Structures are given as C-alpha cells and as structure tokens.
Amino acid sequence: MTDTWGILTDITLCTGCEECVKACKVENGLGCDVPRRWKRRIDDLSSTRHTTIVRQPRDRFVRQFCRHCLHPACASACIVGALRKTPEGPVVYDRDRCMGCRYCLMACPFGIPKYEWESPVPYVRKCTMCHHRIVKGRVPACVEACPEKATIFGTRSGLLAQAKNLIQREPRRYLPRVFGEKEVGGTCVLYASGIPLDFLQFRPEVKETPLPELTWAALTKVPPIVVGMTGLMAGVWWIIGRRMQLAREAAREARSASAGASPAGEKDEEKTA
C-alpha cells in the first residue's frame, strides 16, 4: 500500500483542553451533545461527538476518535459501500448509500461508528479526518486547533518514524510501542503514550491480521441462502433508492414546468381582457 496521511497523538502532551473537540464540532456542524441516555459515559463518542477526551488516573488525557484502519472492517462489512477507504487515508461515509443495517457498528474493533438513535431519520456518524480539508491541502481541524501540538498531521510513515524516535530518546516517558502500528493490519491514527491504552481497545490480544481477511473467510462458511438474502436486501435497497430519486426528479420537473407556464397564462388572460 502506498503511503497515506495520518495523525500522531502524543498522550504525554495532551492537557485535556478539548480544543480539538470544539474544532471538530464547528467544522462538521455537530452542535450540542446528545442526551446522556444515549451514552454510557459523558465523554463517550456519539453521533454529535466524533472526537472526545477520555480522562485517566493521574491527570492523563487520551484523545479518542476513528483510527482510520489501513484495512477497515467497517467498510468490509458495509454491503452497499456507504463506508470506503480513500487513497488519501481517511475512511469516509456516504449517507446517500447507507441503508441503516448498522453492520459497521458491529464490525469495528474500536467501537467508533455511532448511530443517530435520537434522530427520526438516523444515519451513521464518525470522524472522517476532515477528508474534505485534506484534498484541498489543509490539515484536519482538530490538528489545527491543538495548542499543545499533541496532535500532529503528516504521512503515516513519517509519523511512525517520529513516534519511534520519541520513544528511543525518552524511554522513561513513553512505553516501547507505537499504538496503531500493527494492530488489525495497522491504522492511520497512531499513539505515543506513557500508559497502556487497553481502554481504547489496543489490548494485547488484538491481532495484527487485517479484519477484512477474517470477514471474507467467515463469509465463505455462510450458507448460500444467507448470502443470497444479503444480495436481495442490497437489490431492494437499490430499487427503493432509485424510485425515490426518480420521484424527486419528477417533482422538480413539475415545479419547473408550473413556474414556466404561469407567466404565459397571465399574458393570455390580459390579452383576452
């Protein structure tokens, strides 16, 4: 795989100011946090909180957000392609494709995607690493807002080398491990930390094998009838979506025709008078 963009979070520098959280909300128009009843903790990720700060003992603050896996399980599990890995690195979401199956929520090993349970028209929400900014040559909003430079943007290979250099220079400050280097095949979001990050699902038992490989291996064991039903569901989703699109286009054409006919009708009435 060619090099991609990524983010390195240095846990030892984070002060928990939440400037990254504010910047993310402003950039993505997320608004106020959802009610507590939809979350287990007040600092949990949610449909309106794509990045958050988790406070740990001894005043340690750890930023939590999408890891943007090199081989994302969420995209592998999505049968309609609403989630996809971009060439730049971020894993992005297309709400117009989403059918609301929520397989991505179950597939993600880090528990990142969140569903808009509180919305009458729900979608899946997650960090996109500000992909819309990256393609324009800008850095993610959270990186730009961090006053302590605890969040750094760059190429994944460059950030990995930088993290290893930090660990080598200050072995007492950092654990001898770059979190995200190898887990589930590697992630675009890396962590240099002085404390274990088990609570971010970077547990010792997490394998290095990319999860999509396991996903497709499991699918080969699924009875053909189940696979057929999945294909049928995707087909029904496409037909419904196509009909809705045609209905919207017909409504727009009708409105345009009505607007264009009105002036002519008024002129005819004036001539008759």
Task: Output the CA angle 240-232-101, nearest 5 degrees.
Answer: 70
Task: Tell which of 211, 232, 254 closes a domain.
Answer: 211
Domain that holds residue 259: 222-273
Summarised one tens digit per residue, pLDDT across range 41-84 is 656 788 888 999 998 888 899 999 999 999 999 999 999 999 99
> With left for phi above 0 and alpha for psi between -120 and 50, is residue 137 left, alpha or beta?
left
Summarised one tens digit per residue, pLDDT across range 1-44 is 579 999 999 999 999 999 999 999 999 998 777 655 555 565 67
> Is 45 inside any structural domain?
yes
Task: Tell which of 183, 211, 239 closes a domain.
Answer: 211
User: How many domains are contained in the chain?
Assistant: 2
Same domain membership, residue 28 and residue 127: yes
Summarised one tens digit per residue, pLDDT across range 196-236 is 998 887 766 666 778 766 554 444 454 555 445 555 555 55
Global pTM value = 0.75
CATH classification at residue 133: 3.30.70.20
User: Which residues are CB-contacts of 215 (< 8 A; sequence separation ≥ 6)?
Assistant: 73, 76, 77, 107
Contact 109, 210 (CB under 8 A): no
Amino acid (1-letter code) at residue 73: A
Contact 189, 5 (CB under 8 A): no
Same domain membership, residue 47 and residue 125: yes
State CA 269 to chain mean position distance.
58
Same domain membership, residue 249 and residue 124: no
